Chains A and B, each alone.
Chain A
Amino acid sequence: MSKGLIVTDLHVSIEDKEILKGVTLAVEPGKVHAIMGPNGGGKSTLAHVISGRPGYTVTGGSVSFDGHDVLEMEPEERAALGLFLAFQYPVEIPGVTNTTFLKTAVNAQRKARGEAEMDPMAFLRLLREKAKLLYLPDDMLKRPLNVGFSGGEKKRNEMLQMAVLAPKLAILDETDSGLDIDALRIVAEGVNAQRAPDRSFLVITHYQRLLDYIVPDVVHVLADGRIVETGGPDLAKQLEKTGYAEYAGTAA
């Protein structure tokens, strides 16, 4: 059984328009991969397809995680397997407090894995401990999910969900967008604190900035539906200077 995430020759369309035109990549446990690239290159599509968002048609290729055929699974089954997506635009759920939402999520995943529900007091301790690390005040845990949160609070809240759910693979979909430098640092620290030998990350970003704080093991450039270049952390720095212009014409 192959550990980690393996994407093989993945082709994806939205309403007959091909967005991903054969993406192949492998993220081993414990590694941090960054995906960079121009807007419209397919970065978010890749994140969504891996996590099972409806509305995409997979026309070819495969995605496996720890040996499971992910594309055959419902989104909630993927979540229980340990796949987590930090959203670019976290949505509001009025009337549902942050705490209730996370407790429901934790217990739904535990149930799916055949584990007992978490003791409510133990859950609250865990939640407070993780919130503190992200400098989230206690009152935010009692507020309805994302309702009235600032952009920075929403993203930090995504990091809180990640910390509490403790996934095996976390996909960060442009988590840095709309963050000021302080919020960016807090988010990055949140990620770094979560780095572990059995946890991998797929960090999707348009800018190199985030990668100053979350240093990746591997950097991929995704443009026009294909991985056009793969390298080490230096690749990101180089892109910061040159931009994505050289990949603009790679479409066949």
Chain B
Amino acid sequence: MVSTIETVETVHEFTGAYKYGFVTDIEMDVAPKGLTEDTIRYISAKKDEPEWLLEWRLKALTLWRKMEEPTWAKVDYPKIDYQDLHYYAAPKNRSDGPKSLDEVDPELLATYEKLGIPLKEQEILAGVVAVDAVFDSVSVATTYKAKLEEKGIIFCSFSEAVHRAPELVKKYLGSVVPQGDNYFACLNSAVFSDGSFVYIPKGVRCPMELSTYFRINAQNTGQFERTLIIAEEGAYVSYLEGCTAPQRDENQLHAAVVELIALDDAEIKYSTVQNWYPGDAEGKGGIYNFVTKRGACRGKRSKISWTQVETGSAVTWKYPSCILQGDDSVGEFYSVAITNNAQQADTGTKMIHIGKNTRSTIVSKGIAAGRSDNTYRGLVRVLANAEGARNYSQCDSLLIGDKCGAHTVPYIESHMPISTIEHEATTARISDDQLFLCRQRGLSPEEAVALIVNGFCKEVLQNLPMEFAVEAQKLVGISLEGSVG
């Protein structure tokens, strides 16, 4: 998000430094280890939540206790001791972190360098300084929020939304991903930390790409993130999540939930670049990323489009999905998942066709290198009333080396004879001939792989907003370093 940061800096220059405007709670707060009703009461009290939300969290805990951790995904990781985790920590005390970039892992700095990340942003990413210490978030936020508020758009942290727009939160929270939906979503429902809330009123086209970077205290919400985006009739919003730079986090377990709601003629475009720490070459220390993302096309002619570039995390378990309820609604899923070394990714989508003439498109590009395992798992379900539903799926896998695995697991269920479902899949490897051609023309093996893989993922990458796309291309190359030669 280099360009975004530059924008922030520009705004910062114009608005002048505002030194003491932080609203961060600087007391050192960590909930004791373990997950009990008390933990949840603690979290809820810290956030000064209304009673109904506490009850909602507690109900999730009750459900979660009866659930089993899923084992059907093609991923393998040591058993997680859920009672040995902290479920709440206030923003970290800066004195624990590195004092300057000199103390940061040189390898990490080299990666930042390659991505062309400005020094100031490097400091944030490496944990040398807090976001709000470099950028005067308050003034930045004020500038942008003023612009958004003019149009009646609400864009704030989830915790803030609970107080600012309680009716909307109450109405839509859990309406797409109910508490008991699955093990990890249920855990999130009980203990979610924070996340984004977006509300676009009727007929409004959001004038800018919304990104987590504009949110105050965006840091430290990564573990159990909860995001809710509502687009009213005829509204449009494009939302960007994540960052191309590798992000480290002390919390190994991440279980986020994202819910999107699109009413009549509304459109939501949700783009993700996920580059959480993948662990070392053995996969040790990497993030477990167990995410539930789902959008409901409730209205007629509504559209939800997911684009994801997944390069990080040791284990990824993620299926951004669309429930196509409204007649003529459209769901899209464009995905690039890259695994290297010991990474494991089991990712895909679910397209549930309920309304008439609903359409969905799935384009998945999986790239496996090293000893990694890369699985596409997708469901296309056409229900009995979805007359005229259409789906097109394309799942391509690219293998680099001979120790990795690519797997495609498509599930297709149709209960409506008047529907069309197409599925295409290919598996290829980077051939020695392609590599040699590139090297003969002057490219290093790493440049060659980056070029070939970028070509392979082009259809997906070109769906990303411009500022993300260029960095994502570089990221593709960097993620695969060391995979050949």
Residues on A facing B (Cβ under 8 Å): 51-55, 74-76, 78-80, 84-85, 87, 89-91, 93-96, 100-102, 104-106, 108-109, 112, 144, 161, 165
Query: What separation, in Å, do the CA atoms of A80 and B108 have in the docked complex?
Result: 30
Q: In whole Å, how far is A219's beta carbon from the nearest beta carbon of chain B?
A: 25
Question: Are the CB atoms of A75 and B440 closer together than 8 Å?
Answer: yes
Question: Are the CB atoms of B442 and A108 closer together than 8 Å?
Answer: yes
Q: Which residue from A90, A100, A112 sits with its C-beta under 8 Å from B442?
A: A112
Given known A54-B436, A91-B437, contact A96–B451 (CB-CB < 8 A)? yes
Question: Are the CB atoms of A95 and B457 closer together than 8 Å?
Answer: yes
Q: Could you name 21 residue pairs across A and B whose Cβ atoms are closer than 8 Å?
A: A53-B440, A75-B440, A76-B439, A76-B442, A78-B440, A80-B442, A84-B440, A90-B437, A91-B434, A93-B437, A93-B452, A93-B455, A94-B456, A95-B455, A95-B459, A96-B452, A105-B443, A112-B442, A144-B455, A161-B441, A165-B441
Q: In whole Å, how far is A199's beta carbon from the nearest beta carbon of chain B?
A: 17
Question: Are the CB atoms of B431 and A52 closer together than 8 Å?
Answer: no
| Known contacts A54-B436, A93-B451; 20 further A-B pairs (Cβ under 8 A) | A53-B436, A53-B440, A76-B440, A76-B443, A78-B440, A79-B440, A79-B441, A84-B440, A89-B433, A90-B437, A93-B438, A95-B454, A95-B455, A95-B456, A96-B451, A105-B438, A108-B447, A109-B442, A161-B441, A165-B441
Question: Are the CB atoms of B455 and A52 closer together than 8 Å?
Answer: no
B432 at the interface (CB under 8 A from A): yes
Given known A93-B455, A95-B456, A101-B451, contact A87–B437 (CB-CB < 8 A)? yes
Chain B residues within 8 Å of A108, by CB: 441-444, 447
Q: In whole Å, how far is A76's beta carbon from the nearest beta carbon of chain B?
A: 5
Chain B residues within 8 Å of A96, by CB: 451-452, 454-455, 458
Question: Are the CB atoms of B440 and A91 closer together than 8 Å?
Answer: no
Question: Are the CB atoms of A91 and B456 closer together than 8 Å?
Answer: no
Query: What separation, in Å, do the CA atoms of A75 and B458 have in the docked complex?
Result: 27
Query: What separation, in Å, do the CA atoms of A74 and B484 have in the docked complex?
Result: 14
What 7 A-B pairs are tightest by C-beta distance, nearest first?
Answer: A95-B455, A96-B455, A105-B441, A109-B442, A75-B439, A79-B442, A95-B458
A92 to B, closest residue via Cβ: B434
Chain B residues within 8 Å of A79, by CB: 439-442
Q: In whole Å, how far is A239's beta carbon from the nearest beta carbon of chain B?
A: 29
Q: In whole Å, how far is B160's beta carbon from the nearest beta carbon of chain A?
A: 42
Main secondary structure of the interface of B (DSSP, over half): helix
Interfacial residues of chain B within 408-448, with CB under 8 A of chain A in the complex: 431-434, 436-444, 447
Q: Which of A93, A106, A161 has the most CB of B within 10 A?
A: A93
Chain B residues within 8 Å of A75, by CB: 436, 439-440
Q: In whole Å, how far is A49's beta carbon from the nearest beta carbon of chain B?
A: 12
Q: In whole Å, how far is A228's beta carbon from the nearest beta carbon of chain B?
A: 28
Q: In whole Å, how far is B131's beta carbon from the nearest beta carbon of chain A?
A: 33
Q: In which size bucket is the chain B interface?
A: 20 to 34
Q: Which of A51, A75, A78, A109 has the most CB of B within 10 A?
A: A75
Q: Which residue from B436, B447, B455 sits with its C-beta under 8 Å from A94?
A: B455
Residues 65-90 of B, flagged 1 when their CB comes within 8 A of A and 0 if not, give: 00000000000000000000000000
Query: What separation, in Å, do the CA atoms of A52 and B435 have in the docked complex?
Result: 12
Interfacial residues of chain B within 132-156, with CB under 8 A of chain A in the complex: none
Chain A residues within 8 Å of B434, by CB: 91, 93
B431 to A, closest residue via Cβ: A91
Chain A residues within 8 Å of B458, by CB: 95-96
Q: In whole Å, how far is B364's beta carbon from the nearest beta carbon of chain A?
A: 15
Q: Which of B436, B444, B452 has the most CB of A within 10 A?
A: B436
Question: Are the CB atoms of A51 and B440 closer together than 8 Å?
Answer: yes
Question: Are the CB atoms of B451 and A104 closer together than 8 Å?
Answer: yes
Chain B residues within 8 Å of A74, by CB: 439, 444
Q: In whole Å, how far is B336's beta carbon from the nearest beta carbon of chain A?
A: 12
Query: What separation, in Å, do the CA atoms of A203 and B414 have in the docked complex?
Result: 60
Question: Are the CB atoms of B432 and A52 closer together than 8 Å?
Answer: no
Chain B residues within 8 Å of A78, by CB: 440
Query: What separation, in Å, do the CA atoms of A101 and B439 have in the docked complex?
Result: 12
Chain B residues within 8 Å of A90, by CB: 437
Q: In whole Å, how far is A226's beta carbon from the nearest beta carbon of chain B?
A: 26
Chain B residues within 8 Å of A53, by CB: 436, 440
Chain B residues within 8 Å of A76, by CB: 439-440, 442-444
Q: In whole Å, how far is A56's beta carbon from the nearest beta carbon of chain B?
A: 12
Question: Are the CB atoms of B442 and A105 closer together than 8 Å?
Answer: yes
Query: What separation, in Å, do the CA atoms of A112 and B441 have in the docked complex?
Result: 12
Chain A residues within 8 Å of B443, by CB: 76, 104-105, 108
Q: In whole Å, how far is A115's beta carbon from the nearest beta carbon of chain B?
A: 12
Query: What separation, in Å, do the CA atoms of A14 and B439 have in the docked complex?
Result: 21
Query: What separation, in Å, do the CA atoms of A51 and B434 have in the docked complex?
Result: 15
Q: Which of B441, B451, B452, B458 has the most CB of A within 10 A?
A: B441
Chain A residues within 8 Å of B459, by CB: 95
Query: What separation, in Å, do the CA atoms of A251 and B438 have in the docked complex?
Result: 36
Query: What separation, in Å, do the CA atoms of A78 and B440 have in the docked complex?
Result: 8
Query: What separation, in Å, do the CA atoms of A135 and B98 have in the docked complex?
Result: 60
Chain A residues within 8 Å of B433, by CB: 89, 91
B443 to A, closest residue via Cβ: A108
Query: What separation, in Å, do the CA atoms of A221 and B439 have in the docked complex?
Result: 29
Query: What separation, in Å, do the CA atoms of A100 and B461 have in the docked complex?
Result: 15
Query: What separation, in Å, do the CA atoms of A161 and B441 have in the docked complex?
Result: 9
Q: In whole Å, how far is B448's beta carbon from the nearest beta carbon of chain A?
A: 8
Query: What separation, in Å, do the CA atoms of A89 and B437 have in the docked complex?
Result: 10
Query: What separation, in Å, do the CA atoms of A102 and B457 have in the docked complex?
Result: 19
